[in-house]
Structures are given as C-alpha cells and as structure tokens.
Amino acid sequence: MPESIVVGLDIGGTSTRAAVFSLSGERLGTGRAGGGNPTSHGAEQAAAQLRAALDAALVGVAPERARAGVIGLAGLGRLLADPAGRAAFDAAWLAAGLRCPYEIHGDALIAYASGSADPAGTVLIAGTGAIAAQVRDLTLDRISDGHGWLLGDVGSGFWLGRAAVRRALADLDCQRELAPVSVRVLTELLGSAKVEPRHRDTVDRLVQTVTRRPPLELAALAPLVVAAYADGDEAAREILTEAAGHLAGSVARIRPAGDTSPVVLGGGLLTGDTPLAGAVRTALARRWPDAPLRTAGDGAAAAAWLAARSLPEVTDPAVLHDRLLATSSI
C-alpha cells in the first residue's frame, strides 16, 4: 500500500496555491491557480481555481492516497453560510479524484500555522486590513480588530495610506516644508508635488482626488510610506512607528501580559523584511520580551500540516511542521 499523503490549499484573493506532501514530509506536488476568494469572486470561480490548483499539485500522484485535506481561505463565514458554495467545493474536490474528507479554516489560522506548530499563540496580520487573533488548540479563539477601514484596521495598509495623505494635508495646512512622504503622496495623486500659491487649492485637489475613489484604494499608498522611510524620512518613520504601536495594541487587547507563546506575523506588510515588520517586532518585544516572534510562511504547506497532524500515524506534529515548512517554496 503506497504511503498516505495530505493535501493543503491556500485560497487568496490574488492566487490559489496547493501543496501535496507525504506523511514523512516529502513535497510531492505544488499547484498554483488564480485568485479564488469566494467573497470577491463567487464560490463557483473559487471552486474552479481550487480544482486547477489541485490538478497541478496532483500530477503524477495517485489522489486516492490522500488521507486528509485542509483548505484555508478568507471570507470563510460567507462560504459556510452558502450551501451552494460548499457544494461547489465538494464537487471540485471529488473531481480532482480526492476521496478523503477536508476541512476549511480561515486565513488567520492558516497564517498562524505557517509560522508555528505550537497549539497556542497569537497571530497578527497586516495587509490591506489588520486583525489579530489568539489561537488555542490550533483553532481561533479571541479576535481583535479586523473591524474594516471605517471603524478599525488600525496599522493596516489602508491606515498607512490614509496617514500619508493626512500628513500631506497637515503640511499644506501649516504651510510648512513638505515632508518627503508628503511629496510622494502629492506626486502620486496629483501628478506633481507643486503646491499652488494658494495652498488651499492644492488641499482641495488632494481631498477631491482621494474622496472620488473607493476608500480602500488608500492602501495602495502604503508603499510610499515604506519608500520614504527607506530614504530616511522622519515623517514616514513616525507613521510607521504609530502603525506598529496600533498593531501591538490590537494584540494587547487579547494576549495576556507575560504570555510566552509564539506570535506569528502575517500579511503583506509584516512578512518579509519591511520597516513596519521591524517596528512591530520592537513593539511586541517590549511588551512580551519572552515571546518567540515568527513570520508566516507557505500557507498551502501549513494547510497540509493542519490536515496531517490529526492522523494517528503522525506521532510528532512539530517535527513534521519543521519538514513541511522548511521544504516549502513560497
């Protein structure tokens, strides 16, 4: 009888990734397809991307060897509330030849598991939005923020972009020299950083340009803050420090003082060597000096690990976690 395998999928708004592993930790296949977040694309399209990624990952692998699967995706609540969406996922799973059961988890748990095998810890995610969650027994427990751009998502990409525009408006109101990040904002949004002789005209154009667009587009300005910081801009440093304080504050709402469990940083603004990630690490280390700080990795591999760890023959999930996440290709 051939060795059992596990299947993991990470369905995001811009890409869907699948990974197939043996229980000894060997990566047998990897698949990639288009964005399949059912919230933004509809369950049918998400299921089609799921199928495409699965087919690619299972090339040369007998799908009937699969013993367990996990699918991670955002917008979980909406999918589970929609029987047709769940049915589309079931059909795609079967069509790929898989006969084992699968579970669906939210992207926050997948991000956590991609950074830590510890059953308890904290995950902090900052991308366009921002959310923090406590993990207990590898399920999500208490949640902080994730309240959306109007009411929260403090320290997120949206928050950073809005802070950059607000800094430009403050410079204009004060009729002081524009900070480098303000110059970048004006150049990006108005085509030049030339300030009208009547400062208020530039203010009005800037406000109108931003308010004509969907608010979430402010998140596209977050890289300007990072770039200005890299050039040594003090204003950009202040914005990033404040954002890091907000993100650490979101964690503090749900994580006890003195907690020594790991904290996993995820989302586009906190994975990789970004200045925000650095500032967040500093802020977290100040409050939880003994907590290991991890970075989220390959979501599909993490999903596969979550599937594998419940199987009886996986006697040491932590060792398997090391293997699956070490061999991952992000």
Q: Which residues bind its own copies (CB under 8 A)?
A: 142-145, 147-148, 150-152, 162, 165-166, 169-170, 173-175, 199-200, 203, 207, 210-211, 215, 250, 253-254
For 177, which DSSP code?
P
Taking the complex as a whole, how short is the minimal distance between the CB of residue 216 and its own copies, in angstroms? 11
Nearer to its own copies, 104 or 169 (CB): 169
Nearer to its own copies, 163 or 283 (CB): 163
Min. distance of Cβ 19 from its own copies in angstroms? 30
Q: Which segments of 42-103 does DSSP mark as H helices, in order?
A: 43-57, 76-81, 83-95
Q: Buried b vs exposed e over 282-292: b needs ≥16 C-beta within 10 Å?
A: ebbeebbeebe
Least spacing, CB of residue 148 vs its own copies, in Å: 6
Q: From residue 76, how far is each of 6, 103, 107, 145 by CA, in Å?
A: 21, 11, 8, 17
What ranges in 233-310 are assigned the alpha helix state H? 234-252, 275-287, 299-308
Nearer to its own copies, 99 or 213 (CB): 213
- In angstroms, what is the minimal distance from the CB of 108 to its own copies? 12
Q: Give the whole-angstrom CA distance, residue 75 versus residue 80.
A: 9
Report d(CA 269, CA 226) in Å as an integer: 10
Strand 5-11 and strand 121-126: pairing? unpaired
CB of 83 to its own copies, least distance (A): 20
Shortest distance (Å) from residue 70 CB to its own copies:
22
Contact 293, 285 (CB under 8 A): yes
Distance of closest approach, residue 26 Cβ to its own copies, in angstroms:
38
* Residue 251 or 302 with smaller CB distance to its own copies: 251
* Ramachandran class of 258: left when φ > 0, alpha when ψ lies in -120 to 50, beta otherwise: left
Report, in Å, the least distance between residue 195 CB and its own copies: 14
Q: Nearer Cβ to its own copies, position 23 or 203?
A: 203
- In whole angstroms, the minimum distance from the beta carbon of 49 to its own copies comes to 26
- Between 39 and 45, name the residue whose CB sits nearer to its own copies: 39
172-180 own/partner pairs: CB under 8 Å, 24+ apart: 172/199, 172/200, 172/202, 172/203, 172/206, 173/199, 173/203, 175/199, 179/228, 179/233, 179/234, 179/235, 179/236, 180/228, 180/231, 180/233, 180/235, 180/236
Closer residue to its own copies, CB minimum distance, 165 or 301: 165
Nearest CB to its own copies, comparing residues 211 and 315 = 211
Question: From start to end of the chain, where are the E strands?
Answer: 5-11, 15-22, 27-34, 66-73, 102-106, 121-126, 130-136, 139-145, 263-266, 293-295
The residue (of 47 and 243) whose beta carbon lies closer to its own copies is 243
